């Protein structure tokens, strides 16, 4: 007697079945993938980053009246540099110290508090740094402060005055903007979004700052010019979009943790008087404008299109495997899905023991 293997195909119900399949292959998934790749990600276009160059020009006159001294400030006085590039500073406040010359004088009373009685004046100065070279002498009869060799009188920046100006900033022009339009327009995000003339107060307001606060201590504002162009359409449709962001200079919020609030620097004007060199020192508080150009150009290209289609087909293949793994090993009804998806084959073992019995006891 010869016994061979037997096989039968069963399902969980005990009936033959040839049902097998996968999941996640619906028309809705295809539509979603096509919308993501071709509409949102622009997968049918090739892109390139453009190189931007920005020219800025300042116009306007400022007026101050400090201690009865009237003064007019033009672009040569309050803009650094006068013809700015992608970054420039507009002076909104200043502290002037006139007639400084190199000699020995008293350091500023408010510069460092004195707890010594009488005052002790070493040749080396503890932090903060001195306003000049320490001579080691104490001026007991006058200020009761230490004597320094410096540009005297020393600068007193303990009280910052407040001045407000109204200025206009002219930026690069776009195609279709003529001289007549520029002479009469003023930038507004709703009514005149393409006007290249900006008022200083509007820039500060659009960046989220308070003009009175930032004009006193200075700060920084970022002007972003966004050029996103679809070259499949006419080139005249490519227009800039302006946005404004406050970088730093808010003394009420983020800048409280800074070592120095606002933005300021010093510069001096040197001159000769009675064969002696003198200078006028100015501590300038201003708003630094950083112009950032972001640009990208897109145009139809057959190579990215075919690549996007091939990638989409590959994603569907991976999605089927991922869905099967979830259904087979993670879902509560994974056993039911396993029985419905796969065919179960049962192999009968060879009846070896029966064959041996027949051989030992032949008929």
Distance CA(211)–CA(162), nearest Å, equals 11
Query: Contacts for 238-242 with beta carbons within 8 Å, 24 or more apart?
Result: 238/297, 239/174, 239/194, 240/174, 240/194, 241/193, 242/187, 242/189, 242/193
- Residue 13 confidence class, pLDDT cut points 50, 70, 90: very low
Query: Mean pLDDT over residues 138-167, rounded?
Result: 71
pLDDT at 115 over 50: no
Q: How far is CA 232 from the centre of its chain?
A: 29
Segment 188-213, tens digit of pLDDT? 888 888 888 888 888 888 988 888 88
CATH 2.60.490.10, the chain: domain bounds: 57-299
DSSP, residue by residue, 251-284: TTTGGGGSSS-S-EEEEEEEEEETTEEEEEEEEE
| Mean pLDDT for all residues in the chain | 71
Q: Is-cis flag, bond preceding 344, omega within 30?
A: no
The rounded distance, in Å, linking the Cα atoms of 191 and 137 is 66
Sort strands 276-300 and 219-230 into parallel, antiparallel or unpaired. parallel
- For Cα atoms 303, 305, 310, give the angle at the middle one, nearest 5 degrees: 95
Q: What is the pLDDT of residue 167?
A: 45
- Gap between the Cα atoms of 220 and 255, Å rounded: 12
Q: Read off the pLDDT band of 24 (50, 70, 90).
A: very low
pLDDT, position 238 = 80
Give which of 329, 337, 326, 310 is closest to 24, Cα–Cα.
326
User: For 288-338, what is each residue's pLDDT tens digit?
Assistant: 888 888 888 888 878 877 777 777 777 777 777 888 888 888 888 888 887
Peptide bond into 81 cis (omega under 30): yes
Among the ranges given (63-67, 125-129, 237-241, 273-277), the one the predictor scored with the smallest mean pLDDT: 125-129
CATH of 57-299, one of 2.60.490.10, 3.40.50.300, 2.40.128.50, 1.10.8.350: 2.60.490.10
Q: Name which residue leads in pLDDT, 251 or 60.
A: 60
Q: From CA 145, how far away is CA 108, in angstroms rounded?
A: 8
- 123-127, 160-164, 165-169, 344-348: lowest mean pLDDT where? 165-169
Q: What percent of the chain has pLDDT over 90?
A: 1
> What is d(CA 355, CA 359) in angstroms, rounded to the nearest whole number?
6
pLDDT at 105 over 60: yes
Please state, in angstroms and rounded to a whole number, the distance separating the CA atoms of residues 349 and 99. 113
Measured between alpha carbons, how far is 168 from 162 in angstroms, rounded to an integer?
20
| Share above pLDDT 70 across residues of the chain, in percent, rounded to a whole number | 61
Mean pLDDT, range 21-34, rounded to an integer? 54
Q: Beta strands 69-73 and 241-248: pairing type?
A: unpaired
Query: In this model, does residue 20 exceed pLDDT 70?
Result: no
Per the model's pLDDT, the better-predicted residue between 349 and 211 turns out to be: 211
pLDDT band at 18 (very low <50, low <70, confident <90, very high): very low
**Banded pLDDT at 65 (limits 50, 70, 90):** confident
User: What pLDDT shows up at residue 30?
Assistant: 60
């Amino acid at each position: 007697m010869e016994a061979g293997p037997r096989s039968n195909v069963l399902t969980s119900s005990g009936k033959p079945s040839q049902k097998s399949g996968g999941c996640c292959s619906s028309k809705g998934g295809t539509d979603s993938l096509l919308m993501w790749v071709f509409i949102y990600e622009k997968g049918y276009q090739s892109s390139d980053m453009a190189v931007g160059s920005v020219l800025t020009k300042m116009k306007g006159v400022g007026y101050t009246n400090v201690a009865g001294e009237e003064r007019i400030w033009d672009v040569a006085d309050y803009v650094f540099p006068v013809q700015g590039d992608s970054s420039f500073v507009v002076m909104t406040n200043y502290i002037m110290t006139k007639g400084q010359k190199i000699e020995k004088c008293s350091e500023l009373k408010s510069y460092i508090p004195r707890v010594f009685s009488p005052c002790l004046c070493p040749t080396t100065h503890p932090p903060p740094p001195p306003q000049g070279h320490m001579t080691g002498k104490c001026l007991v009869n006058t200020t009761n402060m230490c004597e320094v060799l410096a540009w005297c009188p020393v600068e007193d920046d303990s009280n910052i005055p407040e001045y407000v100006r109204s200025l206009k900033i002219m930026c690069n022009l776009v195609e279709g903007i003529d001289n007549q339009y520029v002479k009469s327009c003023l930038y507004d995000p709703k009514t005149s979004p393409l006007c290249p003339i900006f008022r200083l107060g509007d820039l500060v307001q659009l960046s989220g700052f308070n003009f009175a606060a930032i004009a006193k201590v200075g700060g920084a504002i970022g002007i972003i010019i966004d050029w996103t162009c679809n070259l499949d359409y006419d080139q005249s449709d490519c227009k800039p979009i302006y946005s404004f962001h406050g970088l730093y200079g808010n003394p009420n919020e983020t800048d409280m943790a800074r070592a120095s609030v606002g933005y300021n620097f010093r510069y001096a004007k040197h001159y000769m008087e009675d064969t002696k060199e003198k200078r006028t020192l100015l501590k300038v508080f201003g708003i630094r404008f950083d112009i950032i150009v972001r640009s990208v150009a897109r145009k139809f290209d057959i190579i990215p299109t075919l690549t996007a289609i091939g990638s989409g087909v590959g994603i569907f293949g991976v999605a089927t495997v991922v869905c099967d793994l979830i259904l087979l090993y993670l879902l509560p009804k994974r056993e039911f899905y396993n029985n419905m998806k796969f065919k179960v084959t049962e192999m009968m073992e060879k009846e070896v023991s029966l064959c041996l019995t027949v051989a030992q006891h032949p008929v």
